[in-house]
Structure 1
Amino acid sequence: MLYESICMSTLRILQCSATTLTNCVQEATDCILKGGIVAIPTDTVYGLTSSLFSIHKLYEVKRRQPNKPIAFCLADVSDIALYADVDIPAELLNRLLPGPVTVLFRQADHLPLLVNHSVVGFRVINHNFVMKLCQQVGQPLPLTSANIANERSCLEVSEFKSIHPNLSLIVDAGKISSSDPRSRIGSTVVDFSLPGTFKIVREGQALQHCLSVLTDSVYGLQQR
């Protein structure tokens, strides 16, 4: 076998590395498309994902209030405009993403709603496994951190053992390393839903980088 599969009841844990990457992506894709909940590594913390049709399961596993929004992971920065009204320059977005940033936009009126919220968060994650997974699944992947709501986020698989019984598959890429001591706070969240402005909703890991880009006078954005 090209990957190590550890069976725990119906849960499987795949050890993901450069040599097992392709198989891990395929296994995760199959699981997601069959309605499973998959724990995955990201460029910030471990996350949980599913198909668009299984979002309710993510909320149940995480014990998250249904009125709380959830972000969607995409394969490419340009894909954001397929699902949202993007009125900022592509150059700006490409300076922020891929990376540890969540951008908020209004959902496009001409498309089916991703969720029952007018403003939706999008991520393009700087992690080879996640990028390939998004490409393979071919649809936005709902994404939330792999922890119970209001508990600390997790940098390695052993830290979210309490929810293992509720998962179908875990892709274990080892401990997520970060030189930022605040790594558990996750991505920086920036709201672009009001044209011509931005608002920092959560400081996150990339705050200083985001501010340096967003306050560049060439874009003419006002901070709310």
Structure 2
Amino acid sequence: MNERITPASDPTTWGPALDEAVNVLSRGGLVVLPTDTVYGIAADAFTPPAVQALLDAKGRGRQMPPPVLIGDVRTLDGLATDVPEGARALAEAFWPGGLTLIVRAQPSLAWDLGETRGTVALRVPDHETARALLRRTGPLAVSSANRTGSPAAVTAQDAYDQLGDSVAVYLDGGDAPGQVASTIVDATGPTLRLVRAGAIGLEQLNEVTPVEGPTA
């Protein structure tokens, strides 16, 4: 067993693994964690050098800022401003789950996620290990745990094979579903707009609130 990969699928035994992950993140290090889609590489969202290290580990530029995972829908208003009622309805309906909302970021936040143009992509993952970590750390910048251009990792070992020693701790939560990425909805304009189809279909979204399909 790789010493950087730590079992973290059982709430009765994952305490030491989460303790180590919290410690690493608080010092600006990187952690790989399981989510309900694929494995993610995580950094403290409020530590700009850690976010840059995340982008470097993936081989990604600042023009592709990472989304931010949060542990609870109630965190939405702490990170976003001018959230449309339709976006709130989608969050209530589909969080935790496979929905990412692009919203206006609170201008007072001391973070640097890259070239966001004042926006942030938020999601509450439907994964017990991920949410247990998020409850302790607060918001985390999280991108898929792979080198840019390579397949997303669906196991902790997959992630290690791509990211290696750039990540201090790999939380092993078993196989991630890995079948479908999250659906992305842009809530920064006058209407809600589907940016990427994924785990939640356009029909399901429109059952909650009007969402425009992607432009051709």
Give the TM bin, normalised by the shorter chain. Answer: 0.7 to 0.9
| CA apart distance, 1:205 | 2.1
SS at match of 1:50: strand
Matched, 1:34 2:33: no
| C-alpha distance in structure 1 between counterparts of 2:163 and 2:109, whole Å | 33
**1:153-188: per-residue Cα shift (whole Å, max 9, x none)?**
11112223031221101001121136xxxx1x4211
Runs of 5+ in structure 1 lacking a partner? Answer: none
SS at match of 2:192: strand
| C-alpha distance in structure 2 between counterparts of 1:69 and 1:93, whole Å | 21
Q: Count matched residues.
A: 205
| Letter of the 1:64 counterpart | R
Paired position in structure 1 for 2:84 = 87
SS at match of 1:60: helix
Runs of 5+ in structure 2 lacking a partner? Answer: none
Paired position in structure 2 for 1:186 = 181
Return the TM-score normalized by structure 1.
Answer: 0.83
Larger-Rg structure: 1
RMSD, matched Cα: 2.0
Does the C-alpha gap of structure 1 residues 35 and 193 become closer, same or farther in structure 2, counting only changes over 3 Å? same
Paired position in structure 1 for 2:72 = 76
| C-alpha distance in structure 1 between counterparts of 2:90 and 2:183, whole Å | 15
Matched, 1:133 2:128: no
Contact 1:147–1:153 (CA under 8 A) maintained in structure 2: yes
| C-alpha distance in structure 2 between counterparts of 1:78 and 1:16, whole Å | 25
Does the C-alpha gap of structure 1 residues 110 and 165 become closer, same or farther in structure 2, counting only changes over 3 Å? closer
Paired position in structure 1 for 2:146 = 147
Paired position in structure 1 for 2:5 = 13
| Letter of the 1:87 counterpart | P
Does the C-alpha gap of structure 1 residues 113 and 168 become closer, same or farther in structure 2, counting only changes over 3 Å? closer
Does the C-alpha gap of structure 1 residues 146 and 221 become closer, same or farther in structure 2, counting only changes over 3 Å? closer
Paired position in structure 2 for 1:200 = 194
| CA apart distance, 1:20 | 1.8
Matched, 1:214 2:205: yes
| CA apart distance, 1:65 | 1.4
Paired position in structure 2 for 1:157 = 156
Paired position in structure 2 for 1:50 = 43
**1:6-55: per-residue Cα shift (whole Å, max 9, x none)?**
42xxxx21111223222222221111111211111000000000113110
- Indicate the percent of aligned positions where both proteins have the same amino acid: 27
Contact 2:194–2:212 (CA under 8 A) maintained in structure 1: no
| C-alpha distance in structure 2 between counterparts of 1:169 and 1:63, whole Å | 19
Return the TM-score normalized by structure 2.
Answer: 0.86
Matched, 1:173 2:173: yes
| CA apart distance, 1:93 | 1.5
Paired position in structure 2 for 1:109 = 107
Does the C-alpha gap of structure 1 residues 67 and 177 become closer, same or farther in structure 2, counting only changes over 3 Å? closer
| C-alpha distance in structure 1 between counterparts of 2:111 and 2:55, whole Å | 17
| CA apart distance, 1:110 | 4.1
Contact 2:8–2:18 (CA under 8 A) maintained in structure 1: no
| C-alpha distance in structure 1 between counterparts of 2:102 and 2:41, whole Å | 19
**1:45-96: per-residue Cα shift (whole Å, max 9, x none)?**
0000011311000000000011112100111112111111212253332102
| C-alpha distance in structure 2 between counterparts of 1:109 and 1:35, whole Å | 23
